[in-house]
């Protein structure tokens, strides 16, 4: 079953406070959409509106062509996974996974086949007879995912499903989720996270949320390479955000003329230049600027330099240096014109 999700100007309020403000967003059939934003930005609320656990104050929610706004959760045909596993503790793994199928009145043979298949798919077949308390956190989360997938829902909602796991396991589980989606390609996934790496890794598109509102939607590459807003630039990856004055084909940063694409901004305007720290080079090159090192961090594979450029802090993430500069040293930094993006001032995020 392929369906997709559509939010049509969906607003949710608690006690008169709007926590989701007129959300317009479409998740295509088979698409993985990440809802990315800081804590409290309204991500879970949006997901709960799809699941049917909160009622919008305004707007409609569609799954496929069906307006589900007035349907109870169990009639929406959705699979859902939340942060804290939420397995039924008194039920064995196989019964947890069978739960949704039984609730739908599936035939016994069908249930057995589906449970086996789904446990195999999630690598949990050997644990079918165990209880949740006999499993690690990562295993419990696999079972929670199996339980959500057992009914072969057209739409799966995942709310920070990996945030209780340690970093290594998180990375493995991300790869697993990507594989599961390749096995079930018709399934639409709405994946809530505050973690940019999860969003960049897994999503076909990312919807960036900030303070109850959708800020920007795009592919990971679009949002990373060419964000429109400062909020996106700093939330999706690290960013140097430098205040500049726009010329024609150049911008001026504290007296330094830099060559960048100025198509997005009017000449004479104030704007913000975004340069990713890993695209900043040390030494001479195009768009060369001089600054004074304030801090040097060794991070194993890289050195991060904090450089003061005419009163503005610039970060440079460099492949590990043999002879790193020291705080107080003057250094030249540079970046390629095509590696900088101009963010228009006034379209900041107020
Ligand atoms: N049941 C509730 N009652 C009152 N306020 C709530 C409730 N659920 C969430 N909120 C508030 O709504 C806002 C958005 O919450 P949420 O959607 O959970 O954000 P996120 O998932 O992005 O962290 C927050 O300010 C939160 O405190
Ligand atoms: Mg949340």
Residue from 14, 195, 210, 211 whose mutation best tests the ligand 1 pocket (most atoms within 8 A of CB): 14
Q: Starting from the CA of residue 35, give the closest ligand.
A: 1
Indicate which atom in ligand 1 lies nearest the CA of residue 46: 17
User: Does 46 score more than 70 pLDDT?
Assistant: yes
Neighbours of 332 (CB within 10 A): 14
Residue from 36, 42, 235 whose mutation best tests the ligand 1 pocket (most atoms within 8 A of CB): 42
Q: Starting from the CA of residue 161, give the closest ligand.
A: 2
| pLDDT tens digits for range 197-226 | 999 999 999 999 999 999 999 999 999 999
* Mean pLDDT, all residues of the chain: 93
Domain boundaries, the chain: 5-225, 230-344
Query: Strand 78-81 relative to strand 155-159: parallel, antiparallel, unpaired?
Result: parallel
H/E segment holding residue 50: helix 43-51
H/E segment holding residue 350: none
| pLDDT tens digits for range 215-274 | 999 999 999 999 999 999 999 989 999 999 999 899 999 889 999 999 888 888 899 999
- The three-state secondary structure class of 331 is strand
User: Does 9 score more than 80 pLDDT?
Assistant: yes
Query: What number is the average pLDDT over the span 20-45?
Result: 97
The rounded distance, in Å, linking the Cα atoms of 264 and 344 is 7
pLDDT band at residue 1, thresholds of 50, 70 and 90? low
Neighbours of 286 (CB within 10 A): 13
Residue from 12, 16, 44 whose mutation best tests the ligand 1 pocket (most atoms within 8 A of CB): 44
The class that CATH gives domain 5-225 is alpha beta
pLDDT band at residue 349, thresholds of 50, 70 and 90? very low
Q: How far is the CA of 46 from the centre of ligand 1 (A)?
A: 10
Return the higher-pLDDT residue of 171 and 8: 8
Q: Starting from the CA of residue 46, give the closest ligand.
A: 1
Indicate which atom in ligand 1 lies nearest the CA of residue 212: 14
Q: Which residues of 191-218 are buried (b: 16+ CB within 10 A; e: fewer)?
A: bbbbebebbbebbbbbbbbbbbbbbbbb
Query: What number is the average pLDDT over the span 310-315?
Result: 94
The rounded distance, in Å, linking the Cα atoms of 34 and 38 is 13
pLDDT > 90 fraction of the chain, expressed in percent and rounded: 85
pLDDT band at residue 348, thresholds of 50, 70 and 90? very low
Quote the pLDDT of residue 350.
41
Indicate which atom in ligand 1 lies nearest the CA of residue 160: 21
Structure tokens at 255: 């007296």
| pLDDT tens digits for range 77-128 | 899 888 776 899 999 999 999 999 999 899 999 999 999 999 999 999 999 9
Q: How far is the CA of 253 from the centre of ligand 2 (A)?
A: 39
Query: What number is the average pLDDT over the span 59-66?
Result: 96
Q: How far is the CA of 109 from the centre of ligand 1 (A)?
A: 42
Quote the pLDDT of residue 254.
86
CATH homologous superfamily of 230-344 equals: Nucleic acid-binding proteins (2.40.50.140)
Quote the pLDDT of residue 250.
94
Query: What number is the average pLDDT over the span 59-67?
Result: 96
Query: What number is the average pLDDT over the span 331-342?
Result: 96
Q: How far is the CA of 102 from the centre of ligand 2 (A)?
A: 29
Q: Are the C-beta atoms of 34 and 203 separated by less than 8 Å?
A: yes
Q: Starting from the CA of residue 15, give the closest ligand.
A: 1
**What's the predicted TM-score (pTM) here?**
0.91
Quote the pLDDT of residue 82.
84
Estimate the crossing angle of helix 93-103 against helix 137-149, to 10 degrees: 20
Residue that is written with structure tokens 């109870």 in the block: 72
The rounded distance, in Å, linking the Cα atoms of 14 and 17 is 5
Quote the pLDDT of residue 241.
95
Ligand 1 pocket by C-beta < 6 Å: which residues?
Answer: 14, 19, 37, 39-45
């Amino acid at each position: 079953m392929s369906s997709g999700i559509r939010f049509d100007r969906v607003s949710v309020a608690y006690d008169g406070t709007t926590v989701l403000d007129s959300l317009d967003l479409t998740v295509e059939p088979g698409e993985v959409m990440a809802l990315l934003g800081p804590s409290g930005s309204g991500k879970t609320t949006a997901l709960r509106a799809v699941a049917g656990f909160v009622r919008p104050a305004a707007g409609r929610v569609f799954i496929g062509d069906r307006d589900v706004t007035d349907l109870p959760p169990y009639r929406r045909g959705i699979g859902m996974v939340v942060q804290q596993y939420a397995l039924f503790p008194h039920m064995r793994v196989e019964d947890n996974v069978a739960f949704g199928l039984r609730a739908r009145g599936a035939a016994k043979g069908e249930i057995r086949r589906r449970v086996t298949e789904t446990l195999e798919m999630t690598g949990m077949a050997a644990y079918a007879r165990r209880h949740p308390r006999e499993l690690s956190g990562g295993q419990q989360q696999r079972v929670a995912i199996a339980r959500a997938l057992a009914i072969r829902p057209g739409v799966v909602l995942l709310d920070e499903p990996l945030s209780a796991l340690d970093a290594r396991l998180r990375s493995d589980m991300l790869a697993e989720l990507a594989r599961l989606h390749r096995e079930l390609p018709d399934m639409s996934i709405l994946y809530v996270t505050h973690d940019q790496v999860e969003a960049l890794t897994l999503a076909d598109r990312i919807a960036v949320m900030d303070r109850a509102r959708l800020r920007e939607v795009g592919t990971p590459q679009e949002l990373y390479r060419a964000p429109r807003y400062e909020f996106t630039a700093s939330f999706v990856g690290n960013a140097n955000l430098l205040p500049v004055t726009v010329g024609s084909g150049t911008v001026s940063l504290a007296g330094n003329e830099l060559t960048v694409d100025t198509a997005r901004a009017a000449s004479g305007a104030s704007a913000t230049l975004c340069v990713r720290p890993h695209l900043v080079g040390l030494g001479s090159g195009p768009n060369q600027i001089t600054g004074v090192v304030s801090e040097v961090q060794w991070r194993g594979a890289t050195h991060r330099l904090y450089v003061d450029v005419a009163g503005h802090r610039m970060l440079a993430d460099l492949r590990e240096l043999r002879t790193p500069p020291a705080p107080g040293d003057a250094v030249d930094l540079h970046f390629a014109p095509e590696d900088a993006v101009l963010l228009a001032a006034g379209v900041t995020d107020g």
